Structure 1
Amino acid sequence: MLKKVLLVSVLLFTFASTATASSNTLYEVKKGDTLSKIAKANKVAVKDLQTWNKLTKDSIYVKQKLVVQKPKTAKAPTKVTTPVATAKPVTQPKTDKIVQPVQVMAETLITSPTPVAVEAKALSASGQAVYNTLVDFAKLLEGTPYLYAGNTIAGFDCSGFIHFVHMQAGLNMTRQSSESYFTQSATVSDPVVGDLVFFENTYKEGISHMGIYIGDDQFIHAGSKGVEITKLSNVYWKEHFVSFNRFHAVSVEK
């Protein structure tokens, strides 16, 4: 009988528990709110809110999104017993009408050499749980503004967004560029909701943008207009599409 063992990427990840993201994790500031009032309502210190949200002063603004709970760090699972079946293959859809391209600025981060092409393994049960959590949390961030090199809810660039939501879902990973994340993940021919999607030759040659596949021909990503949901069949993104990928930390080895 084949033994399923969790494959942990030494370069990127250590597995933590699949912390549950919910609407309680983020709070949208309303008229009349103050930082102290929000802190009291969530039973946390004002200093904690400032730390989690990278705030240098007490001022906040209406519709600003604040993290109001400390990100949870999970324990590493000791055994993976039942792999979750992958979803049905996703075929490239028909072309939509031309939409204004969303360009992202360069990310001044470490990159890695081009990897040997490998096919990712099926998701473990724990990996699937991580995916469910990170997709739910990613959708809560829709509308967050674009910020060059940003990786907090004050603003994101494309890889900063990926880093933030994976950390919130319980994966401890380093902040790197989209090109580096591409080299440290494997391609999947049958993507499931939560897998990564990569694009090339947008503002520079090679891998230059990434997002998270959310099903129904859509992916969520941080573009120059902020965090948004976009169709893969959009002419611009279809032209620059490279592959669906999966981080090794949420895969299993046969």
Structure 2
Amino acid sequence: MSDAADNPQKPLPHHAGHRERLRHRARSAGLTHLPDYELLELFLFRSQPQGDVKPIAKALLSRFGSLAAVLAASVEDLMTVRTEDTKGRTKAIGPETALDLAALHEVAQRVTKEEATKRQVISSWSALLAYVRVALQHEPREQFRVLYLDKKNQLILDEIQNRGTVDHAPVYPREVVRRGLEVSAAAMILVHNHPSGDPTPSRADIDMTKQIVRAAQSLGVEVHDHLIVGREGVTSFKQLGLM
């Protein structure tokens, strides 16, 4: 019998050549033309050099709802995502892939923060809003942070004051102001997120803000604004006339 008969050629997997075809389309048409799952595939090629990553990309988007939410997910949450191959075998997102995705989110935060703070914060407001959305829009727990500014309204410190539950993060006005004095801040911007997605201020948010403003004013520190971040947008207390 011939060698071909003795060694029949193994059929190629259905995804054979997909990576190069996707890369070619990205190069020729541009990355902006790719749907979210294909853009995610391109990144996953790095952490998973073999196999079909399209099911992984689609499973991630299905689990978290959007590309931004995928990148904002914790390493632990990313590793809960499971896919199934054509033979019914279950595959989990590994720690390397999860860490790569978390690193990409950190890169996005640093890039938007750099853009927001390379000039006076209050004169680059759109960049500041972009930064706080990247940082907090998909945070699963409520987080309260303060941007401390100098006399030129340039950022001295972006500090997380407290992390809480899905609907509450304890805030201590005296601690917020005390920290401002420690770093010689002349002003501050308060920021926290609503994991529910709705950035509408609660009665407790309004009362807490008034307490911080009073404490800060007594010590000569100005509170420029309080921003609440949700999946539906960012709310400004100043624009709402609440301060």
Higher fraction of strand: 1
Higher fraction of helix: 2
TM-score by length of 1: 0.29
Bigger RCO of structures 1 and 2 (CA < 8 A, at least 6 apart)? 1
Structure showing greater Rg: 2
TM-score by length of 2: 0.30
